[in-house]
Amino acid sequence: MHLAVAAILVAVGCAPPPTAIRAIPELADVPSPLSGPGVPRIDPTDRSAVEEGWNLLLTGDTGAARSAVGAIDRSPSARLLVLQSELVDADPGRSVDGLRELVREEPGYAAAWASLSTAAERSGQEAVALESARRTADLWGRDTWRSRADDLYARWVEDRMIDATDRLASGNADGALDLARRVEELDPDRTDARMLEARALIALDRPAEADDVLRELPAEPAAIALSAELAEQRGDLLTAIERYSELPDSWEGRDRSIDRVKRAWRRTVLPPFVQQALASPELTRGQLAAIVVALAPQLGPLEGGSVPLLTDIVDEPMQREIITAVRLGLMEPDRLEPRFNPDRAVTGSEARATLEGAAHLLGWREPVWCDGGVLASGCIELSEPVSGEAVEQAIERLARGNEDE
């Protein structure tokens, strides 16, 4: 039936429009060289030759089609017909080179741009195919060509972004990275693709490369936030503070992140005995005093009772912190002797009472403890043995809860 249609077209000597039925699928998205805007000037005799060649090409007879325009092979329309025949001969790569040269010479020739888009798509040159489809749509305002450009973008950009996101979420960071980079080749302005590339690189433990990607997006808050997180993860706390500070004031979690990193940075300059206490799996009383006073330095200047005389802390490196804790009533010395017992393991009730006292003095929200295995909303876990990490987390929770009010 398709051959019959083509024969009728030859008989009446007219070129079908781009939407006409094609005898062969290779020409499904290829218009006649004589159709559309920007057709180069051609005399009537040469036009008849191109029409004859086009109708022959619709039958799949590429040799006869080329012969029909052999005498006028310098004409842009005849050249286009020859290049279109190469698509039918399954040589789209060779056709792309010739079509690119043709559109450089005839930039307003819509049929040539449409043919280039099809040839590039079939040869795997996606960027050329998409650019040519858009150029065709700009020159030739038919829905057919606008729809083609939109379809290519949806398949090669939008669908790949969805696929890449799913791959990253499922743990296939390599696949996500490949798709994100293919999207960027087609649309360098896709910030979400750059962000996805950076996240994939982070998942692949390639933070330096991720940082390079993020630096190319300096004005994007999401990129700044991810860059700050990356700096925080690698321990570059001063850079993390700087990057978080660049975020807009309205960015959710900005101030909380700055304070968190500042606290982490302060820990790096804490005395060795405090750092040792923070790493301890079972705190002593002296270590508890050291952590609380070091991580809540606002306690130091507060007024309290008289400085106690404690005979067993003279040689302790955390002597000053112990005195502060006792002076403020956060921890009690021995009731019978002037001793603090700094090396005795702290109990859960002692740790909770100390933190409750600190929260009261600093005006923080009263802590809610996770008691007896019952996890109340927002409760803080602090069980025995009391570790330095648990006390640190409890202090951070208390400080953060006060900031969130």
In order along the chain (405 residues), what is the average pLDDT of each group of 10 residues? 39 40 70 96 94 94 93 90 90 88 97 96 95 96 93 97 96 97 94 93 91 84 89 87 91 88 83 93 96 93 84 92 94 91 95 95 90 68 92 88 52
pLDDT value at residue 216: 85
CA 385/CA 403 separation, integer angstroms: 29
Quote the pLDDT of residue 91: 74
**Residue 131 vs residues 134, 156, 222, 247: alpha-carbon distances, Å:** 5, 12, 29, 35
- Return the pLDDT at 40: 96
* Assigned token pair, 354: 């100390």
Confidence at residue 46, expressed as pLDDT on a 0 to 100 scale: 94
Specify the pLDDT at position 372. Answer: 62
Give Cβ neighbours of residue 264 (< 8 Å, ≥ 6 apart).
232, 237
pLDDT at 375: 56
What is d(CA 304, CA 360) in angstroms, rounded to the nearest whole number?
Answer: 13
DSSP readout, 23-84? Answer: SSGGGTT---TT-STTPPP--HHHHHHHHHHHHHHHTT-HHHHHHHTGGGTTSHHHHHHHHH
At residue 284, what are phi and psi to the nearest 5 degrees? -90, 170
Sorted by where each starts, the structural domains of the chain and their CATH numbers stand as 2-141 (1.25.40), 181-268 (1.25.40.10), 272-404 (no CATH)
Predicted pLDDT at 376: 62
